Amino acid sequence: MHQPIVAVIGASQTRAEDPDYHDAIRLGRLLAGAGYAVASGGYGGLMEAVSAGAAEAGGRVIGVTAPTVFPGRPGANAHVTDERPAATITERIQDLLSISDALVALPGSLGTLTELVVAWNIAFVAPFSSRQPMPIVTVGQTWAELVTLLTERLVTDGDLVQCVANVDEAAAAVQQHVTIRQNPV
């Protein structure tokens, strides 16, 4: 059975006392509990929170790290079960997206925006080579506003990004678009 992988991107500096951190834990639990593996950048903040939630639910946790880009970071967070080091930030993003069946963007900053835009562009060009676009889900008002702005200003397909209000809706959106196939008995 192929276990679908959901990439979760988000801020690396979010602290445990922040509500977004607890939301990321919940998302990890929801995704792993539904049978998905969870992949992230593998470091701290929301990446660590989603990893913790997935691990608590018994899920597989993949961290696509970039040790040469972030030499000051001690390595993948303690919840990662499968670390995939990449040499550059570009390779890190490419690897994270290439192994994933869907992407969820939690609140973040410039790095999260970069990952989101790359995923969106890959989804946009997928039909040119007869491929299905990867489902992309964003959580929160900031991403909804940015997706609307970019759709209008860049004249692109905003329907490729599903904007939702919370992690429960994000998990439901993933389940709607990415089916887990069970082995026949």
> pLDDT (tens digit, 9 = 90+) per residue, 113-165?
999 999 999 999 999 999 999 999 999 999 999 999 999 999 899 999 999 99
Whole-prediction pTM: 0.96
DSSP string covering 33-48, please?
A: HTT-EEEE--SSTHHH
C-alpha 106/C-alpha 129 separation (Å) is: 29
Confidence label for 185 from pLDDT (cuts 50, 70 and 90) = very low
- Give the up-direction half-sphere exposure of residue 51: CA atoms within 13 A in the CB hemisphere: 25
Q: What domains lie within the chain, and their CATH numbers?
A: 5-177 (3.40.50.450)
| Helical ranges in 34-125 per DSSP H | 46-56, 89-98, 110-125
State percent of the chain over pLDDT 70: 97
